[in-house]
């Protein structure tokens, strides 16, 4: 029956046709793929990539109050920035803030995740409580703590009074302000970090614990030898996310301290905000933003490099 049709398969023309169809298919699938991605690509382009390059561009200019560039100043903003004690202080405080918040958040969350991973009656209730701060917005959390830190009515100072200690100006004393903001931040971030770590714990194969039980290992031995190593990818993830989040802190500061006292809590994002939207210095604010971007880029890169080596992947 195949003989009825002319033997086209040896024809060059058919081969060409097949090649053409393949090419068309490739183009078609490329276009279709791009069509699915197009909305995301456009929005990323407009709201991520263009602003990124625009920020870099702006950092070399002086601008008017509307943000239009006026005078090209080259590296001047950067040079000024690194001689400006206020900016240097904000950089220093930002790093301090990361050091205050990240380890404590992760340790508390890990502790909560470990105790909430036991199979006990009513454990679901505790898990819900522990993750609840994830649902608390930065504005609400700041308001809660604003009251707790209140020098006269606040609960914290009332506790101190109970033990006959001197009250502390939590948000007004330069020694305490950054710590107070850090405490608020830790409280806010524990919910999310806890939830992720609990998920990590639950994904550990329970037969590992069962075989350790048969070998008669102690609770802490299991924690050290099974839980922590197998949790390391999750730990690695939450540490990275926490660091990046800490660098991006803004809301707490805006409500609790407005950067004060004496710029002690003027962290980098707040500093950018003030420079741009209070002082209308978009050029120098952009230069600060570039610094923030680079810091976060480096932090992520380091995290990945270090993490890759230390992390125990299953």
The answer to whether 75 touches 200, Cβ cutoff 8 Å, is no
Among 72, 75, 82, 111, binds another protein (CB under 8 A): 111
**Cα 112 to Cα 130: distance, rounded to the nearest angstrom:** 7
Residues shown for the chain: 314
**Min dist. Cβ of residue 224 to another protein (A):** 17
Q: Shortest approach of another protein to residue 147 CB, angstroms?
A: 6
Nearer to another protein, 4 or 83 (CB): 4
- Supply 53's token pair: 């390059």
Count of CB atoms within 10 A of residue 251's CB?
Answer: 19
* Close Cβ partners of 94 (under 8 Å, ≥ 6 residues apart): 246, 247, 267, 268
> Which of positions 162-181 make contact with another protein (CB under 8 A)?
none
Is residue 296 close enough to count as binding another protein by CB under 8 A?
yes
SS3 for 275? helix
Binding mask 221-240 for another protein (x = CB under 8 A): ------------xx--xx--
Binding residue for another protein, selected from 18, 165, 262, 302, defined by CB under 8 A = 18
**Per-residue interface string for the shown chain with another protein, residues 187-216, x marking contact by CB under 8 A:** x--x----xx-xxx-xx--x--xx--x---
Q: Are 98 and 243 in contact (CB under 8 A)?
A: yes
Contacting residue, 133, 172, 217, 303, with another protein by CB under 8 A? 133
Using CB under 8 A, which of 224, 277, 278, 302 touches another protein?
Answer: 277
DSSP, collapsed to helix, strand or coil, labels residue 13 as helix
Of residues 54 through 83, those in contact with another protein by CB under 8 A are: 54-55, 58, 67
Distance between CA 62 and CA 227 in Å, rounded? 54
Residues 244-263 that bind another protein (CB under 8 A): 244, 247-248, 250-251, 254-255
């Amino acid at each position: 029956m195949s003989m009825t049709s002319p033997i086209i398969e040896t024809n060059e023309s058919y081969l060409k046709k097949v090649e053409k169809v393949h090419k068309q298919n490739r183009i078609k699938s490329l276009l279709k793929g791009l069509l699915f991605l197009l909305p995301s690509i456009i929005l990323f382009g407009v709201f991520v990539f263009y602003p990124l390059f625009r920020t870099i561009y702006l950092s070399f200019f002086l601008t008017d109050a509307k943000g239009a560039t006026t005078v090209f100043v080259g590296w001047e903003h950067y040079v000024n920035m690194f001689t400006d004690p206020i900016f240097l202080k904000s950089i220093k405080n930002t790093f301090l803030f990361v050091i205050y918040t990240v380890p404590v958040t992760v340790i508390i969350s890990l502790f909560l995740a470990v105790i909430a991973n036991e199979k006990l009656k009513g454990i679901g209730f505790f898990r819900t409580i522990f993750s609840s701060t994830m649902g608390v917005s930065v504005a609400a959390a700041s308001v809660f703590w604003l009251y707790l830190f209140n020098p006269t009515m606040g609960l914290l100072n009332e506790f101190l009074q109970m033990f006959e200690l001197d009250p502390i100006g939590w948000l007004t004393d330069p020694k305490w302000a950054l710590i107070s903001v850090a405490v608020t931040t830790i409280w806010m971030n524990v919910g999310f970090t806890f939830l992720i770590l609990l998920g990590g714990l639950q994904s550990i194969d329970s037969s590992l614990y069962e075989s350790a039980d048969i070998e008669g290992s102690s609770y802490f031995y299991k924690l050290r030898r099974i839980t922590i190593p197998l949790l390391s990818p999750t730990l690695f993830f939450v540490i990275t996310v926490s660091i990046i989040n800490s660098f991006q802190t803004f809301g707490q500061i805006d409500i609790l301290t407005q950067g004060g006292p004496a710029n002690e809590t003027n962290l980098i994002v707040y500093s950018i905000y003030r420079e741009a939207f209070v002082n209308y210095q978009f050029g120098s604010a952009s230069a600060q933003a570039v610094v923030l971007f680079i810091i976060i880029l480096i932090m992520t890169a380091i995290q990945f490099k270090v993490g890759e080596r230390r992390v125990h992947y299953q």
